[in-house]
Structure 1
């Protein structure tokens, strides 16, 4: 039985590629950028066609003999709909949970969560550039939604990819985002079900 995972803040799928194997079943990707979502769908299409021995269709697409619309006619809807093109925020999180839950059978369990919330606000290189928008930069707090997914699904593992600057970053109130107290609170919440 494959290990079911969800992929958050997917981007174009760089982290996802590390989990594409016979061991894992990527239940969904959640990404707000439409171009990145198209890339994710094309990667899923590639792997689907490879699994059924029809990579010739993908090669036709790459060589311009068929377009994306024609290619996607050969891909089952459940493969294409793995990509959820939504920003994760207070208004969308419940609908994203619902989409994920509806894609699972009653016996399925999410065993892993992978992803990396945007790092521009924390990166030591980006801090100088982002300093003037710090008070309105919602990316600073997107990691909290990642925690919401961990709390909801209580996975056996998670991979949270981010930059070194996350631990030393101070928010608009000049407070560290990850204090020892917050780390302990998060740890207690995440491992309460273990």
Structure 2
């Protein structure tokens, strides 16, 4: 029998996809954002998805939705904007209420008593407040009877063509070792290997035969700037009289075709294709996150890009899921 899982804060379904690929069976997913739910339902038509604020979902309502089904694993990535280096607010654990949504994750684990749980968040959390935040989270789970370990994993070490470090908490109810995936002993996958097969596009063009492969429009000023930036280059390639003087250093750069991508976020409009004068399409960004080419993202283009940027890479999710299977075999 396959192990059952609940996916909290499920987003577009990156974690779900990885666990499905490893042979797990979904029994419930919860997500608040309508466009994320639309994407999830499109790609997982047989899954049960609740579009609801988890903080407003009572214990009784949650148990009713499960219809007596037992969860073997609870997975999820509580919103992490307060920890993220990409954000501008809530840099302290106490100041941003989004940082306490992990308590909703704890509540569901306590209620459903799974054998295991997997919780993902930004790498910044690992060192937040000199590690006190990480330890506080671990103690919450220990208090409800779980042994917990956490590690920072870089997706690029597991076949994802992107440098993306995330902290992963794994807990288990019974005694035994907690297993984390080991980095692959192969060369990192490059941007070209991931997206070089997609049809070429000019800014504003689209490819109807390929879902989400539509290039955004750029202003003449932006097109002029990006024309100076070479493969793997940055704003330093732009003449001084045109060069942006402020802003994120991760903007006005080109992907290096021979290296893994920089970390994909919810806004990659000023990071350019390695040879074409445009930002990457949602389809290309999704490939850098290891989503298959037939995975469809719904909503506006901005919503689609945010869904991709916030997702857990399915390949990373799959290797974590395989570790859960190994641990379950040893129960």
Fold in common (TM above 0.5): yes
How far apart, in 1, do the equivalents of 2:37 and 2:113 lie? 26
1:177 to 128, 133, 136: 133
CA RMSD of superposed structures (Å)? 2.9
Q: 2:17 aligns to what?
A: 17
Q: Is the 1:4–1:110 contact (alpha carbons within 8 Å) kept by the matching residues of 2?
A: yes
- TM-score w.r.t. the length of structure 1 is 0.65
How far apart, in 2, do the equivalents of 1:159 and 1:124 lie? 22
1:119 to 49, 55, 80: 80
C-alpha offsets along residues 93-122 of structure 1, whole Å, 9 cap, x if unaligned? 3254134332x3xxx421011110011111
Pairwise CA distance, 1:31: 0.1
Name the CA shift for 1:31/1:116 in 2 (closer, same or farther; >3 Å): same
Q: Is the 1:150–1:190 contact (alpha carbons within 8 Å) kept by the matching residues of 2?
A: no
Q: 1:161 aligns to what?
A: 120
Name the CA shift for 1:138/1:96 in 2 (closer, same or farther; >3 Å): farther
Q: How does 1:41-52 map to 2 (within 5 A)?
A: 41-45=41-45
Q: 1:55 aligns to what?
A: none
Unpaired runs of 5+ residues, structure 1, are: 46-78
Q: 2:5 aligns to what?
A: 5
Q: Which has the larger radius of gyration?
A: 2
Name the CA shift for 1:94/1:135 in 2 (closer, same or farther; >3 Å): same
More divergent stretch after superposition (26-35 vs 137-146): 137-146
Q: 1:75 aligns to what?
A: none
How far apart, in 2, do the equivalents of 1:176 and 1:191 lie? 19
Aligned residues: 149
Tell me the secondary structure at the aligned position of residue 133 of structure 2: coil
Shift >6 Å, 4+ stretches: 132-136
Pairwise CA distance, 1:6: 0.3
Tell me the secondary structure at the aligned position of residue 20 of structure 2: coil
Pairwise CA distance, 1:22: 7.1
Q: How does 1:28-67 map to 2 (within 5 A)?
A: 28-45=28-45
Q: Is the 1:2–1:22 contact (alpha carbons within 8 Å) kept by the matching residues of 2?
A: no
Q: Is the 2:83–2:93 contact (alpha carbons within 8 Å) kept by the matching residues of 1?
A: no
How far apart, in 2, do the equivalents of 1:111 and 1:134 lie? 30
Tell me the secondary structure at the aligned position of residue 179 of structure 1: helix
Asked which structure has the greater RCO (Cα within 8 Å, sep 6+), the reply is 1
Unpaired runs of 5+ residues, structure 2, are: 148-172, 175-331
2:52 to 76, 86, 92: 86
How far apart, in 2, do the equivalents of 1:156 and 1:111 lie? 5
Name the CA shift for 1:40/1:147 in 2 (closer, same or farther; >3 Å): same
Tell me the secondary structure at the aligned position of residue 19 of structure 1: helix
C-alpha offsets along residues 42-98 of structure 1, whole Å, 9 cap, x if unaligned? 1112xxxxxxxxxxxxxxxxxxxxxxxxxxxxxxxxx36x01000111x32325413
Q: Is the 1:4–1:27 contact (alpha carbons within 8 Å) kept by the matching residues of 2?
A: yes
Higher helix proportion (structure 1 or 2): 1
How far apart, in 2, do the equivalents of 1:154 and 1:38 lie? 29
Pairwise CA distance, 1:185: 4.6
Name the CA shift for 1:133/1:150 in 2 (closer, same or farther; >3 Å): closer
